[in-house]
């Protein structure tokens, strides 16, 4: 009740807001996030253990670039005492920098992204070939979930023969309804990556075809090779960031929207040159990641007193729909200007997603390959779409799509 409002929080900023369990999230997550336009620019929610919400894009961009105030030591709301210290996600500057450079230079440089894009396009075609003749499929199970995992396992060098070992744990990460269940899945993934890394480290110096593994095994931080725990943390981080959740969810949201909006789909089929900007616009409109930060000390931020240890929600879902930055934010406009500059879909500052070039390429290639082939694409009659937030807003069940063969 009201009596429990902490004294440093003004009552007009004390507003329940549960981005994980509010019933509206299950049916209309972006309607729920868009409603933050009516709320104060920064407010405190007693939900989920209590946390601040930064509800405007300009303020969030600033907060994201202030790791001196907002620590990445804990990146989940509610705060979870995680056994995983993910590199580079949970590191703050200056410790963060040398690891970040391994990611941006060695793993996700333009040349590497180009060769992975070619692999991904081939996977995409093979995958569509496998279900095309049926005239329909659960697009999540047949495409959106397995494909990003497949490209991840390829880029990190896990051999085909061992890839099925990962299926059960990956399924648990996707389907977990509580943070604990998701962690169990993550623990399974980390264990499998660990066992495989042990084998690879035994023979560290023979060249690898898989460039990420090569980069990890040969990269140096402060003049030394990375140790097992660092490699394991980076591999798990890449798997969770690159293979699980985010790209899959974005793919689901984009395909659902296009299956429901034939006139928008026709724009992209008639003019594929629009696709890169359409990807940016759909990432903005259906932005899925919601991450946390922890206040490093007591400080004041834009007139609000924040106490050391308090959690702060950095919601890309809210700021993608911020009317003060994007007019008619709920409208999808494939010609919307300035998206790359204005959008925070991949974060900003030192923790900006290092795989954003690859993620954008995967989403672009999906639209380029899927839309012209699946004619008269539509959602199956009577399909009930249900969403959940595990930090990333995703479609939890199936996404039954149909097309003309």
SS3 letters for 150-168?
Answer: HHHHHHHCCCHHHHHHHHH
Does position 171 have pLDDT exceeding 90, yes or no? no
Distance of CA 92 to the CA centre of its chain: 20
Q: Give the CA-trace dihedral at 310, 240, 223, 200, to 10 degrees.
A: 150
- Of 63-77, 273-287, 326-340, minimum mean pLDDT range: 63-77
**Residue reference for tokens 């070619």:** 118
Q: Is the pLDDT of residue 201 over 80?
A: yes
Q: Is 341's pLDDT higher than 70?
A: yes
Q: How many Cα atoms within 13 Å fall on the side-chain side of residue 71?
A: 17
How many other CB atoms are there within 10 angstroms of residue 128's CB atom?
17
DSSP-based three-state secondary structure for 124? helix
The answer to whether the peptide bond before residue 221 is cis (omega within 30 degrees of 0) is no
Tally of helices (H runs) and strands (E runs) in the chain? 18, 14
pLDDT for position 90: 86
Averaged confidence pLDDT in the chain: 91
E strands, 96-202, where?
136-138
* Amino acid 159: pLDDT: 83
Rounded to two decimals, the pTM is 0.93
**Average pLDDT over every residue of 133-162:** 90
Q: Which residue from 331, 330, 364, 148 is spatially nearest to 242, judged by alpha carbons?
A: 148
pLDDT band at 257 (very low <50, low <70, confident <90, very high): very high
**Spatial distance between the Cα atoms of 243 and 368, rounded to a whole number of angstroms:** 20
Phi-psi region of 222 (alpha: psi -120 to 50; beta: other; left: phi over 0): left
Confidence class for position 55, pLDDT limits 50, 70, 90 = very high
Residue 78, φ and ψ in degrees, nearest 5: -70, 160
293 burial via Cβ count (<10 Å: 0-12, 13-18, 19+): buried
Q: Tell me how far CA of residue 240 lies from CA of 166, 183, 351, 355, in angstroms.
A: 12, 11, 15, 12
Using the predicted structure, report yes or no on whether residue 168 has a pLDDT greater than 80: yes
Task: Tell me: pLDDT of 396 over 60.
Answer: yes
**Cis amide leading into 363 (omega within 30):** no
What three-state secondary structure class fits 395? strand
Best CA proximity match to 229, nearest among 344, 83, 106, 368: 83
């Amino acid at each position: 009740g009201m009596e429990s409002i902490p004294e440093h929080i003004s009552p007009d900023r004390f507003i329940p807001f549960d981005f994980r369990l509010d019933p509206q999230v299950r049916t209309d997550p972006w309607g729920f996030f868009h409603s933050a336009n009516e709320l104060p620019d920064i407010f405190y929610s007693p939900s989920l253990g209590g946390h601040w919400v930064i509800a405007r894009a300009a303020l969030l961009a600033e907060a994201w670039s202030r790791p001196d105030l907002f620590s990445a030591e804990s990146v989940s709301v509610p705060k979870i005492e995680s056994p995983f210290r993910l590199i580079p996600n949970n590191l703050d500057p200056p410790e963060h920098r040398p690891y970040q450079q391994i990611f941006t230079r060695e793993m996700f440089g333009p040349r590497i992204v180009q060769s992975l894009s070619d692999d991904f396009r081939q996977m995409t075609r093979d995958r569509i070939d496998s279900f095309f003749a049926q005239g329909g499929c659960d697009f999540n199970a047949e495409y959106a979930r397995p494909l990003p995992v497949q490209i991840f396992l390829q880029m990190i060098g896990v051999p085909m023969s061992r890839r099925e070992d990962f299926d059960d744990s990956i399924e648990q990460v996707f389907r977990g309804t509580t943070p604990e269940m998701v962690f169990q899945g993550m623990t399974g993934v980390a264990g499998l990556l660990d066992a495989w890394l042990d084998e690879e480290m035994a023979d560290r110096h023979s060249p690898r075809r898989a460039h990420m593994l090569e980069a990890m095994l040969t990269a140096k931080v402060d003049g030394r090779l990375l140790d097992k725990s660092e490699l394991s943390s980076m591999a798990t981080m890449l798997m969770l960031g690159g293979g699980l959740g985010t790209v899959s969810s974005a793919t689901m949201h984009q395909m659902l929207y296009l299956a429901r909006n034939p006139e928008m789909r026709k724009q992209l089929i008639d003019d594929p040159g629009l696709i890169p900007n359409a990807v940016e616009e759909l990432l903005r409109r259906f932005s899925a990641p919601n991450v946390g930060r922890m206040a490093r000390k007591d400080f004041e931020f834009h007139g609000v007193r924040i106490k050391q240890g308090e959690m702060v929600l950095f919601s890309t879902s809210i700021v993608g729909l911020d009317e003060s930055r994007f007019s008619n934010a709920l409208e999808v406009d494939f010609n919307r200007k300035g998206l790359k500059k204005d959008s925070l879909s991949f974060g900003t500052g030192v923790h900006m997603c290092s795989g954003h070039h690859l993620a954008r390429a995967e989403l672009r290639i999906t639209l380029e390959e899927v839309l012209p082939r699946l004619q008269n694409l539509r959602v199956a009659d009577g399909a009930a779409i249900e969403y959940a937030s595990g930090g990333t807003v995703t479609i939890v069940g199936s996404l039954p799509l149909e097309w003309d063969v």
